[in-house]
Chains A and B, each alone.
Chain A
Amino acid sequence: MLDVVWLIPALPLAGFVILVLFGRRLGEPRAGYLAAAMCGGGFVVTALTFFDMLSKNAEERSHVVDLFTWIPVGSLEVKMAFLADPLSITMALFVTGIGTLIHLYAVGYMHGDPKFSKFFIYLNLFAFSMLMLVLGENLLVTFLGWEGVGTCSYFLISFWHTRESAATAGKKAFVTNRVGDWGVMTAMFLAFASVGTLSYKGINDAAIGGSLSQVTATAIALMLFVGACGKSAQLPLYIWLPDAMEGPTPVSALIHAATMVTAGVFLMTRMNPVIHEAYTWAPMIIAVVGAATALFAATIAVAQNDIKKVLAYSTVSQLGYMFLAVGSGAYVAAIFHMVTHAFFKALLFLGSGSVIHGMHHEQDMRRMGALRKLMPVTAVTFIIGWLAIAGVPPFAGFWSKDEILLYVYANNRALYVVGLVTALLTAFYMTRQVIMVFFGEARWNDHSEEHGAHGDFKPHESPKIMLLPLVVLAGLSIVGGALQLPFTKDLHFLEKWLEPVIEHGEASIKGSWAYDNKYVLMGVAIVVALAGIAAAVSVYAKKKVKAIEPEILANGWFYDRLVSNFMGGPGRKAFDVVAWTDANVIDGAVRGTGVAVRSASGVTRRLQSGFVRAYAAIIAVAVLVMLVWFVYRGIA
């Protein structure tokens, strides 16, 4: 089964090609079902591969499949090759699994859209690219997927491109990501210059074997992290992700929550031996940036009123958590949180999409409320997602967050405090969201009069095809924690499974205070989560305390505006100066030369007057001068 791993991305690719050729003819809903089937086929192949891998010994679980030589020049030989190992198959499982669910959901969500089939063209292309990213055997194949998902993200964010804001958001996402891509490219150059290969095995072996110098390892790690900051929306490059919510909600769930944005975490995990080889301050930088992003984004989420914006900032924050884990050496915990986050965040986004759908494209939470009765399935599943992300046991998010905090505590207590505060805020803003949307009084008819658009309207529950994915994801959000339970070593399924890829597991913190007292930390985490929930209930449900939602938080600390103002102001001016210099100084010199030559010839032209006597005079003078010169020379 391992030999046909190439089928996993090939199926969505086939779907893409078929839809490009016949998508319009297939129409709604067949185009959507075809796309979902292709993604589902990928899931089936991945699952079979997974079971095949399970039946093998740990050492035999890494398998390379070469398709063809992609870019061979001299000592550089890049193969179009796939690496099937526990890490890539884990990624592929949840990418295809959640991907299929979201494809199905989108059949319902995109109902009636004039560009229905086009949406699925992009969605299949995205699935293909994402699978190339995770299954790549070397950095360049991963980069192919990396850029592919970025491009699809651009297409899908600006899917409703007649809307100016959607078009701008798409462009912003692509360009910001390109800053990160510059980092990944530089990391590849460094790796090739020092190791002579781009294959993960080659680079990681060099790092493990000690032939990669510490300086180079640090440079590679940090350059990859620059790329991760772009793709996974970390400070200072996160600004594109909140804007990316302009895209249709299934896109937000699939690309901007569950899969693409975790690519940075995946890449860092893939290259963990290199990070291990780097100076210790390199992972420290990663951890600090992750913690800072987690806290920063959580504070912003507290004051958002757009149902999707809350989730967007929450995603940025949770990704920060994953980088905090990566920087603390807790790669298993990072992947664990990535998986559980994919479950509950996809669930929350799809739930919010269901709400938006049922509310006739209303996204402002201030105009929602009391929806639990009208949208029971959406409400129940959303509440499950909320409990998972808030860190309430036994839901999935609790276990993965707890695991991260354990490692962070063992590494750096200051960052642990940041992590705890973030957890508190997370519980708070998510509770706020659930209350504003599903509880309290109904506020959705307030505005229909002022707009006079469609009078009274009643929110409705979404069709079954949209609810099915919600139910499945809710189930996963409940039991997802079972992947890695902290109680005994036997329950560390994920850690054992990933052991061939991640060498430095729990051993690195064994003997620390945190490790010996993990139940204390667990207790603290539960208290913090409940405190956050209680605080939000007293503010938003019981209204005992007045809500504090300062302007500065609603505006994201004005960071985005600062960047935009800089780009539109001094940045643009500088560009204008270059364009002006080009047109006036550089080309001015060229034109100046032309003018100078012409005027000089204008002067010399006068010499050619046509009067014979003038020519004769000039000849006479010249002869005289020459004569004098020869005579003078002759004497000397």
Chain B
Amino acid sequence: MFAAEAARGASLSFPILTALVLVPAIGGILTILTSNRRPESTKFVALVASTVTAGLSIWLLSSFETADAGFQFVSQHPWIRDWGIGWHVGVDGISLFLVVLTGLLFPLVIAGVDPHHDHKRYLGWMLVLEAGVMGSFISLDLFLFFLFFEIVLVPMYFLIGGWGYDKRIYAATKFFLYTMFGSAFMLVGIIATAVLAKNSLGYVTFDLVKLGEGADFATSTGRWLFMAFAIAFAVKVPLFPLHTWLPDAHTQAPTGGSVILAGVLLKLGTYGFLRFGLYLFPEASVWARPLFLTLAVVGILWGAIAATMQKDLKRLVAYSSVAHLGFIVLGTFAFTSQAITGGVMQMVNHGVSTGALFLLVGMIYERRHTREISELKGLQSVAPIFAAAFMVVMLSSIGVPGLNGFVGEFLILIGSFGNARWWVVVGATGVILAALYLLWAYQRVFHGEPDEANSSFEELRPREGMLLLAFIAAIVFTGVFPKPMLDRIEPSVKALVTHVEERTGRELEFTEKEIAPVDHSADKKSDEKSEGHGG
């Protein structure tokens, strides 16, 4: 009964998405099987597996059909027929770049950051983590998604607990339990969705597309189900006030873990909202709009203010994530093409710039064995290239135009303004605070006269430089020429907005409020159109 649905858009004879999950998974197992006495072979296997995955994700990107809004590279195999559960995977514009980001981030982290002990298990968990994240981003089946969503927790738990800093066990446990708490709601939500959808579909299925297109829930049922999903995603994002696991997890995680956590793991939450929340429960998500917009804006300000007062550099970056993710949630719940496209883009941007920030903080820790801002001073004098790299990444995080962070943030704000004016006006003050906490930290760490402990701070090593160069290249390219990325994201986002509009009967997409109506502007409007402004 599943074969009926033909794969739309681009497809390859090679099951590329399945391979994206299997390659790192098998790589992980092989890594564990390598000999303890030959650590270089362990790393080699891990590198090969993650690099092949990266290559696959690039292949995926290059074969992606730009203008197609639907799922591409779809692969579908029934698994538990009676319950309508199957291996149904595919990517669209919303997940494409998250998959590519995951594919590229892992080999960079594996090549660039070494754990301080026990390479083998560390790399093994890393690859299992990659498989889990990949699976989550490509799953088009609720059950399958839940499976991957939960699998991700296990390697992350061990990475924090095994290779983290002093309070790693506390942080790892908190991370695990907090996320599990959220997921419990989602599990109930997923089962209830499948069962209750039988009323309108006539059969039980966990298939996302079938549920999204065919299922119809009573208003209050839809809202309950939406909230069940939303709690899980809100914890994962993390959305204020469910964010306090994040600073602990980030601060205690090893550098590689922090990069992955910030880079892709948090995006499971924001991605989940789009893929499952908005798509399955359009009415409920429009209903919950005020709540989530408010929490998002509070999170932007709260995270930024809390970041300003942190004494630990890594904790500061962690809190900045709360603020940045607030922007993404703001865009998500504005329901316009610009805002959501900006949000999707910002998921990737945040992964790149915050990932790079964590790398830099990790390098500082490695040299100075401290992350206390007050212990650091005057590093720009001793390590100017290191400082310059930090500066570029920081400016991207602040959202300076010409770099990637600005494009996403700007699209989110300008796209949300039509629907959520006052939230945007307040949320936009977050850009002031972002400059405050980052520049203040930069001043304390890099400016001034270096004292004795800091005067021997080592300059950027070639390997570190290559690693950061990859990030900086992405930061600049996306900031200057975001069009290729936007062109691929937008059709799917537009389809999602249209889906929500159709289901709710509300007009959410942006329209110019003042040009359209009155008589004297009638000919003006056609002028505008011909110039391509009005379209």
A75 touching B510, Cβ below 8 Å: yes
The listed residue (A167, A170, A202, A212) touching B528 by CB distance below 8 A is A202
Complex Cα distance A210/B401, Å? 32
How distant is B460 from chain A, measured CB to nearest CB, in Å?
15
Taking A73-B337, A161-B380, A174-B435 as contacts, is the C-beta distance between A213 and B514 under 8 angstroms? yes
Complex Cα distance A216/B512, Å? 12
Taking A73-B486, A144-B401 as contacts, is the C-beta distance between A189 and B414 under 8 angstroms? yes
Binds B, one of A178-186, A409-417, A447-455: A178-186
Interface core residue of A192, A587, A590 (most chain B CB under 10 Å):
A590
Binds B, one of A340-348, A573-581, A600-608: A573-581
Taking Cβ atoms with an 8 Å cutoff, the residues of B that contact A are 174, 177-178, 241, 243-245, 302, 305-306, 308-310, 336-338, 341-342, 378, 380-381, 395, 400-402, 406-407, 410-411, 413-415, 417-418, 421, 424-425, 428-429, 431-432, 435-436, 439-440, 443, 446-449, 480-483, 486-487, 490, 494, 509-515, 518, 520-521, 524, 528, 531-535
Measured between beta carbons, the chain B residues less than 8 angstroms from A74 are 336-338, 341, 490, 494, 509-510
CB-CB contacts of A161-191 with B at 8 A, as 1s and 0s? 1101001101100110011011001101110
Q: Whose C-beta in chain A lies nearest to the C-beta of B305?
A: A578
A582 touching B513, Cβ below 8 Å: no
Complex Cα distance A581/B528, Å? 51
> Does any Cβ of B come within 8 Å of A596's Cβ?
no
Further pairs besides A70-B481, A74-B490, A76-B411: 14, Cβ < 8 Å: A70-B482, A73-B490, A74-B338, A75-B512, A140-B410, A171-B440, A189-B428, A194-B513, A206-B514, A578-B302, A578-B305, A579-B305, A579-B309, A587-B244
A71 touching B486, Cβ below 8 Å: yes
> Does any Cβ of B come within 8 Å of A569's Cβ?
no
Measured between beta carbons, the chain B residues less than 8 angstroms from A75 are 338, 510-512, 534-535
A586 touching B244, Cβ below 8 Å: yes
Taking A161-B446, A178-B432, A193-B418 as contacts, is the C-beta distance between A70 and B308 under 8 angstroms? no
Measured between beta carbons, the chain B residues less than 8 angstroms from A590 are 174, 178, 244-245
**Contact residues of A between 52 and 90, Cβ < 8 Å to B:** 68-77
Taking A161-B448, A211-B515 as contacts, is the C-beta distance between A582 and B306 under 8 angstroms? yes
A211 touching B520, Cβ below 8 Å: yes
Q: Whose C-beta in chain B lies nearest to the C-beta of A189?
A: B417
Complex Cα distance A71/B490, Å? 11
Measured between beta carbons, the chain B residues less than 8 angstroms from A594 are 174, 177
A579 touching B306, Cβ below 8 Å: yes
Measured between beta carbons, the chain B residues less than 8 angstroms from A178 are 431-432, 435-436
CB-CB contacts of A588-623 with B at 8 A, as 1s and 0s? 001000100000000000000000000000000000
How distant is B85 from chain A, measured CB to nearest CB, in Å?
32
B341 touching A162, Cβ below 8 Å: no
B514 touching A77, Cβ below 8 Å: no
- For this complex, 9 residue pairs linking A to B, each with C-beta atoms less than 8 Å apart, are A74-B494, A161-B448, A162-B447, A178-B435, A185-B428, A202-B531, A206-B515, A209-B524, A586-B243
Interface core residue of B174, B177, B244, B411 (most chain A CB under 10 Å):
B244
A73 touching B411, Cβ below 8 Å: yes
A71 touching B411, Cβ below 8 Å: yes
Taking A148-B401, A168-B443, A171-B440 as contacts, is the C-beta distance between A193 and B512 under 8 angstroms? yes
B400 touching A151, Cβ below 8 Å: yes
Interface core residue of A158, A193, A212, A578 (most chain B CB under 10 Å):
A193
Q: In which size bucket is the chain A interface?
A: 35 or more
Measured between beta carbons, the chain B residues less than 8 angstroms from A70 are 480-483
The listed residue (A68, A151, A211) touching B395 by CB distance below 8 A is A151
Measured between beta carbons, the chain B residues less than 8 angstroms from A190 are 417
A147 touching B401, Cβ below 8 Å: yes
Measured between beta carbons, the chain B residues less than 8 angstroms from A189 are 413-414, 417, 424, 428
> Does any Cβ of B come within 8 Å of A100's Cβ?
no
Measured between beta carbons, the chain B residues less than 8 angstroms from A71 are 407, 410-411, 482-483, 486
B447 touching A158, Cβ below 8 Å: yes
Measured between beta carbons, the chain A residues less than 8 angstroms from B338 are 73-76
A175 touching B448, Cβ below 8 Å: no
Chain A contact surface mostly: helix
Complex Cα distance A606/B494, Å? 58
How distant is B457 from chain A, measured CB to nearest CB, in Å?
14
Complex Cα distance A183/B169, Å? 45
A575 touching B308, Cβ below 8 Å: yes
Interface core residue of A148, A178, A210, A594 (most chain B CB under 10 Å):
A178
> Does any Cβ of B come within 8 Å of A46's Cβ?
no
> Does any Cβ of B come within 8 Å of A199's Cβ?
yes
Measured between beta carbons, the chain B residues less than 8 angstroms from A216 are 514
Measured between beta carbons, the chain B residues less than 8 angstroms from A68 are 481, 483
The listed residue (B431, B435, B515) touching A185 by CB distance below 8 A is B431
A72 touching B483, Cβ below 8 Å: yes
A212 touching B514, Cβ below 8 Å: yes
Measured between beta carbons, the chain A residues less than 8 angstroms from B401 are 140, 143-144, 147-148
Measured between beta carbons, the chain A residues less than 8 angstroms from B428 are 182, 185-186, 189
Q: Whose C-beta in chain A lies nearest to the C-beta of B407?
A: A71
How distant is B509 from chain A, measured CB to nearest CB, in Å?
7
Measured between beta carbons, the chain A residues less than 8 angstroms from B245 are 590
How distant is A44 from chain B, measured CB to nearest CB, in Å?
25
How distant is B399 from chain A, measured CB to nearest CB, in Å?
9
CB-CB contacts of A142-165 with B at 8 A, as 1s and 0s? 011001100100100010011010
Complex Cα distance A185/B448, Å? 33
Complex Cα distance A590/B531, Å? 55
> Does any Cβ of B come within 8 Å of A259's Cβ?
no
How distant is A14 from chain B, measured CB to nearest CB, in Å?
15
B402 touching A148, Cβ below 8 Å: yes
The listed residue (B308, B510, B514) touching A211 by CB distance below 8 A is B514
Complex Cα distance A514/B533, Å? 43
**Contact residues of A between 297 and 350, Cβ < 8 Å to B:** none
Measured between beta carbons, the chain A residues less than 8 angstroms from B480 are 70
Measured between beta carbons, the chain B residues less than 8 angstroms from A182 are 428-429, 431-432
Q: Whose C-beta in chain B lies nearest to the C-beta of A192?
A: B414
> Does any Cβ of B come within 8 Å of A197's Cβ?
yes
Measured between beta carbons, the chain A residues less than 8 angstroms from B533 are 77, 196-197, 199, 202
Q: Whose C-beta in chain B lies nearest to the C-beta of A582?
A: B306
> Does any Cβ of B come within 8 Å of A195's Cβ?
yes
How distant is B115 from chain A, measured CB to nearest CB, in Å?
28
Measured between beta carbons, the chain A residues less than 8 angstroms from B342 are 73
Measured between beta carbons, the chain B residues less than 8 angstroms from A151 are 395, 400
Q: Whose C-beta in chain B lies nearest to the C-beta of A172?
A: B439
B432 touching A175, Cβ below 8 Å: yes
Complex Cα distance A441/B337, Å? 71
Nearest 10 A-B pairs (CB), nearest first?
Answer: A196-B512, A167-B447, A587-B244, A579-B309, A189-B417, A74-B337, A211-B521, A197-B533, A144-B401, A161-B447
Complex Cα distance A196/B243, Å? 36
B490 touching A576, Cβ below 8 Å: no
How distant is A250 from chain B, measured CB to nearest CB, in Å?
21
How distant is A67 from chain B, measured CB to nearest CB, in Å?
10
B436 touching A175, Cβ below 8 Å: yes
B309 touching A578, Cβ below 8 Å: yes
Complex Cα distance A178/B434, Å? 9
B407 touching A192, Cβ below 8 Å: no
A575 touching B513, Cβ below 8 Å: no
Measured between beta carbons, the chain A residues less than 8 angstroms from B486 are 71-73
The listed residue (A69, A144, A202) touching B402 by CB distance below 8 A is A144
Measured between beta carbons, the chain A residues less than 8 angstroms from B535 are 75, 77
How distant is A126 from chain B, measured CB to nearest CB, in Å?
13
How distant is A198 from chain B, measured CB to nearest CB, in Å?
9
Measured between beta carbons, the chain B residues less than 8 angstroms from A69 are 483
Complex Cα distance A619/B518, Å? 80
Taking A75-B535, A590-B245 as contacts, is the C-beta distance between A164 and B520 under 8 angstroms? no
Measured between beta carbons, the chain A residues less than 8 angstroms from B439 are 154, 170-171, 174-175
Q: Whose C-beta in chain B lies nearest to the C-beta of A576?
A: B309
Q: Whose C-beta in chain B lies nearest to the C-beta of A166?
A: B447
Interface core residue of A174, A202, A209, A582 (most chain B CB under 10 Å):
A582
